[in-house]
Amino acid sequence: MSKRIVINPLTRISGFMEIEVIVDKNKVVDVKTKGNLFRGFEQMLAGRSPFDAVYFTQRICGICSAAHSVASSAALEDALGIEPSEQGKYLRDIIHCCEFLQNHIRHFYQYTVPDFVRIEGNTLLQTEHTDFRLPKTLNDLISRHYFESLELSRLAHQMLAVLGGKAPHNHGVFIGGITTQATAEKVVHLDSSLQKIAKFIDEKMIPDVFEIAKYYPEYYRLGGGYGNLLTYGAFNHYKDIGTLYVDPLVFTDDGIRPFDEQNIQEKIDYAWFQSPKTTYSPDEMIAEPDRDKDKAYSWVKAPRYAGLPFEVGPLARLILSGEYTNGISAMDRTIARALEAKKIASIMKTLLNLLIPNTNVQKKYELPEEEVSGKGLVDTTRGALGHWIKIKNKKIDFYQIITPSTWDFSTRDENGYMGTAEQALMGTPIHDPENPAEIGRILRSFDPCMSCATHVHTPGKEVKTIQVL
């Protein structure tokens, strides 16, 4: 007999998400991941000053706001024909590194650890499921690290503020790189903080994730999904030093190939949207919300690359850069996040060493009279993030955003492909359908950010309502 399980809300994520799963003979046979929040950033951006997009788009998300400022700045630079200096790139990427560190540490300890570790003493951290396997001393050690980690991710945000003014929602990232200058004092401040964070990652975060993996080995076999991987490239294309992490690449059954942005499309067959076409290029059109649409079940649209769903994020990057070979699963994904934190710390150290103190990379920027368009495709904490902008009469005419969580938590499409995370849940054995710990563990391994995934919508037009008299 089959059983329907609904988890709503899926807590310990950013934003609001519901999961509906059908279990038959204790195995998952159908899945729907649902985004439950709509704000409509793309509609809000139309008509604003293009410069404001850098600060405005950050408000899509409180945990990965700097990512949007980076993508938005890149889109503006592309549209205005501005090539940031190498120092500008280094400075902006250092801010981006701070966000990766803040995010990965918070996601692992505050969002993931409570799934595997029983943290005593506070009702907030108590849960109903009973599948806690760690021996007491280890359990208590990682519990202590839960609280210790709060200081380290706070320190990462403090580093971000040293160059970015404040966090979340920084002021520093802008066209050309960043707004302020890195003085010698600031560089040393960052280096000192980074040393503390790197030590925590090496001595606590990475050992903790491998200890958890030891006691939950079946998660190396669960939550795999399609195995298609994609990155827009991260910390790459530096003129003098080349690529520090990974170039734009995709991986499918056919192997690793260069990424080609022409292959990106969005589909809305199963999302609460309508548009003249249900498949379109990101710079082509924006769909309108329709909460009553038949068969739709989420605010998350379905980006596809060459027609296929892809996984994005730390595991995709580590595999595509050749630095991780173990496999694709919920546990590999969680381990990859910790390993990537270490990688990012070393990239940040390299970039800090390249800084020339007091370099001012800002100019007085002007908007062109003619129509221009641009795109900013960057890989950020959760994966591939794209911003597309069109500027007309010196105002934003069109703005499209495809976030990493839209890739990972997409709805299904008309070709029968489920979303990446949906596919990852298919076939999962559910031990106790009353307290299905497996579902949350697998979904959280993707680090869902539903504030980002459901930011969406529509320039210019109000949805028509018909009054029946």
Partner 1 sequence: MENYILPPEPLTNEAIAARLTAGARNGIANGSVKKKNLVYLELNGCSGNIISLLNGANPDFEYMIGSMVNLVYSNSLMAAEGEKAIERLMNALDEDYILAVEGAVSLRDNGLYNIIGTWKGKPLTGLEAAKMLGEKASHILAVGACATHGGVSAARPNPSQSVGLQDVLPDKNMIKLPGCPVHPDWFLGTLAHILLYGDPDTDNLGRPLMFYSTLIHDRCPRRPFFDRGIFAEKLGDKTCLFKLGCRGPVTRTDCPTRQWNGHVNWPIGDDTPCIGCAQFGFPDAMAPFISYDTTRVVKDE
Contacting partner 1 within 11-70 (CB under 8 A): 11-16, 18, 36-40, 43-44, 47-49, 51-52, 55-56, 59-63, 65
402 closest CA partner among 460, 445, 452, 461: 452
CA distance 447 to 266: 21
As measured in angstroms, the least distance from the Cβ of 439 to partner 1 is: 9
Binding track over 272-291 against partner 1, x by CB under 8 A: -----------------x-x
Return the bridge partners of 6, or none: 20
As measured in angstroms, the least distance from the Cβ of 327 to partner 1 is: 27
Closer residue to partner 1, CB minimum distance, 53 or 339: 53
**CA 271 to chain CA centroid, nearest Å:** 20
Contact 437, 18 (CB under 8 A): no
Using CB under 8 A, which residues numbered 90 to 129 contact partner 1? 106, 110, 114-115, 119, 121-128
Amino acid at 327: G
Interaction of residue 295 with partner 1, rule CB under 8 A: no
As measured in angstroms, the least distance from the Cβ of 356 to partner 1 is: 15
Using CB under 8 A, which residues numbered 147 to 176 contact partner 1? 147, 150-151, 153-154, 157-158, 160-172, 174
CA distance 111 to 113: 6
Out of 7, 22, 141, 308, the only residue in the binding site for partner 1 (CB under 8 A) is 7
Using CB under 8 A, which residues numbered 354 to 393 contact partner 1? 360-366
Contact 264, 232 (CB under 8 A): no
| Count of C-beta atoms within a 10 Å radius of residue 431 | 11
CA distance 380 to 114: 25
Closer residue to partner 1, CB minimum distance, 123 or 137: 123
Using CB under 8 A, which residues numbered 413 to 452 contact partner 1? 440, 451
Which listed range, 177-185, 313-321, 331-339, 381-389, lies at the site for partner 1 (CB under 8 A)? 177-185
As measured in angstroms, the least distance from the Cβ of 197 to partner 1 is: 14
Helix 136-164 / helix 184-200 crossing angle, nearest 10 deg: 160
HSE toward the beta carbon, residue 68, CA cutoff 13 A? 30
Contact 31, 446 (CB under 8 A): no
Out of 22, 30, 189, 278, the only residue in the binding site for partner 1 (CB under 8 A) is 189
Closer residue to partner 1, CB minimum distance, 13 or 384: 13
As measured in angstroms, the least distance from the Cβ of 288 to partner 1 is: 9
**Sign of CA pseudo-dihedral 210, 211, 212, 216:** positive
